[in-house]
Structure 1
Amino acid sequence: MRTTMIEKRFFKATPKSIQQAREFATVTLAGWGCGERIDDVRLCISELATNALVHGTVSDHGFLVRLDAEDDVVRLEVHDSRREQPKSREAADTDLSGRGLVLVAALADDWGVQDRAPLGKIVWSSFKGAGVNRA
């Protein structure tokens, strides 16, 4: 029997929302018994939410975070209002930004981007071994 859990929350387009998104993930995943990779998910949510806030939201539009746990896999999605695709790049040692997607790729088992209707995109990452604990 498959166990599926879904939670989502909308966040305003403010810097404070990044911390709130991390807290949302921590509380949600702990409540589901998904503690194995919670630090990986928290770091990825910080990076993806920051990207949504800085690059993905149209003025005053926030972003949506969705967590989906099914058996042994957690999927994190960050929905924003711009279709512009994120670009992973190699940041120079002196760059103050540009490492977020590199971190997501290193921590998550998979990640990608898909269009969202009627506009915007979803940047997602998945984590094996982090799913619902049925003990």
Structure 2
Amino acid sequence: MAPSYSPAPLALPQPAGSGASAGPVRREGFELPAHTSSVSRARSRLSGQLRRWGFPEELGHTALLVISEFVTNAVLHTDSGRIGCNIQLDGQRLRIEVTDEGTERCVPRARSAAPEEVGGRGLQLVGALTERWGVSAGDTPCGRKVWAELGTC
């Protein structure tokens, strides 16, 4: 499943001319069981890490919505036993990734929900609140990765 990263900031070399921001790339990774209680655990882990990194609180609320949506979808719409969560902050961008054991035939898509429907709007919100998001099916050994990126400014 997803690798676990050290909570300490990691300085990673950037390719010349990559346009990457100066400073270290910071990463954190963790795994959770594919259970509804893991949604709040993922939010708590993300919130704590963003505080330690000094991430702007206002943007942190958006990040919490994103990880909630991704973990909820992994729990409800796949047969996963474990869910991996990875976050990366490079000074200009926060990237949130959630991996699950889902198959390519069940790729998350934003949809239009009818006014009376309770659910079905989460990925529309993710699309509206993030710079970009997507799905990488088959990108992980056991399933797919759903990711989103938020600007830090």
Where does residue 148 of structure 2 map in the other structure? 125
**Alignment partner of 1:65 out of 85, 90, 94:** 85
For the Cα contact (< 8 Å) 2:99–2:140, is it kept in 1?
no
**Ranges in structure 1 where 5+ consecutive residues have no aligned partner:** 131-135
Aligned pair 1:20/2:66, yes or no?
Answer: no
For the Cα contact (< 8 Å) 1:8–1:64, is it kept in 2?
yes
Q: Separation in 1 of the partners of 2:67 and 2:44? A: 10
Aligned pair 1:43/2:62, yes or no?
Answer: no
Q: Separation in 1 of the partners of 2:146 and 2:24? A: 23
The alpha carbon displacement at 1:86 in A equals 0.7
Structure with higher RCO (Cα < 8 A, 6+ apart)? 1
Where does residue 75 of structure 2 map in the other structure? 53
Where does residue 77 of structure 1 map in the other structure? 97
Q: Separation in 1 of the partners of 2:140 and 2:64? A: 26
Q: Separation in 2 of the partners of 1:45 and 1:57? A: 18
Q: Separation in 2 of the partners of 1:88 and 1:120? A: 19
**Aligned Cα RMSD in Å?**
1.3
Where does residue 88 of structure 1 map in the other structure? 110
- CA offsets per residue over residues 89-108 of structure 1, 9 Å max, x none? 10011112111100100111
The alpha carbon displacement at 1:2 in A equals 2.9
**AA partner of residue 82 (structure 1):** G
Q: Separation in 1 of the partners of 2:35 and 2:122? A: 18
Where does residue 53 of structure 2 map in the other structure? 32
The structure 1 segments of at least 4 consecutive aligned residues displaced by more than 3 Å after TM superposition are none
Q: Separation in 1 of the partners of 2:148 and 2:98? A: 9
For the Cα contact (< 8 Å) 1:57–1:63, is it kept in 2?
no
Larger radius of gyration: 2
**Alignment partner of 1:114 out of 109, 133, 136:** 136
Instruction: Provide the aligned length of Structure 1 versus Structure 2.
Output: 128
* SS of residue paired to 1:26: helix
- CA offsets per residue over residues 48-93 of structure 1, 9 Å max, x none? 11001111343xx121110000011100000000122112110011
Q: Separation in 2 of the partners of 1:11 and 1:119? A: 15
